Amino acid sequence: MERTLVLLKPSTIQRQLCGEIISRFEKKGLRIAGMKMMQLDDKILEAHYAHLVGKPFFPALKASMMKTPVVAMCLEGVDAIAVVRFITGYTNGRKADPGTIRGDYCMSNQQNIVHASDSPEAAEAELARFFKPEEIYNLGDLNLDRLYAIDEN
């Protein structure tokens, strides 16, 4: 089992799509191990997007991420990091495949609905950045027999 960070970005809040996007992750079979709303600030965004701080679009990206609170989610499942990236789709919504979240819900490279961790290292660092340990819940084996074969998890 892996855990990964998803942020529902301000574009999702503004367009009142939170329920719809959360529902896609749930229907896929990913489990919600943590979820909360939070207002991001300069400090957390400069850490979260450290690889982009020098890019010309960074000030606009930061402003767009502070426009409303975001919904931070910890999703879990077998291979959850790659699965969530796959169903999130390519960064630019205009180029993202139909059937992916970005491909189905946006027209933008920046107002692109969700953030999803892109590697195990990023997922670990990002979950620690956005959640306190006690905000991530242990769901146990609750429904694993419905989601996976016995030798899959």
Tell me which residues touch ligand TYD (CB under 6 A). 52, 57, 61, 91, 109-110, 112, 115, 118
Burial 76-102 (b: 16+ CB within 10 A, else e): bbeebbebbbebbbeeebeebeeebbb
Write down the least CB distance from residue 109 to ligand TYD, Å.
5
Closer to ligand TYD at the Cβ: 23 or 91? 91
Residue type, 64: S
Cβ neighbors of 77 (< 8 A, separation 6 or more) are: 1, 2, 29, 30, 31, 83, 147
Write down the least CB distance from residue 30 to ligand TYD, Å.
18
Indicate which residue of 71, 115, 127, 130 is catalytic: 115
Closer to ligand TYD at the Cβ: 44 or 52? 52
Cα–Cα distance between 17 and 11 in angstroms, integer?
A: 9
Closer to ligand TYD at the Cβ: 61 or 144? 61
Write down the least CB distance from residue 97 to ligand TYD, Å.
13
Closer to ligand TYD at the Cβ: 53 or 139? 53
Check if 115 is active-site.
yes
Q: Is the Cβ–Cβ distance between 112 and 102 less than 8 Å?
A: yes
Q: Which residues does the annotation mark as catalytic?
A: 115
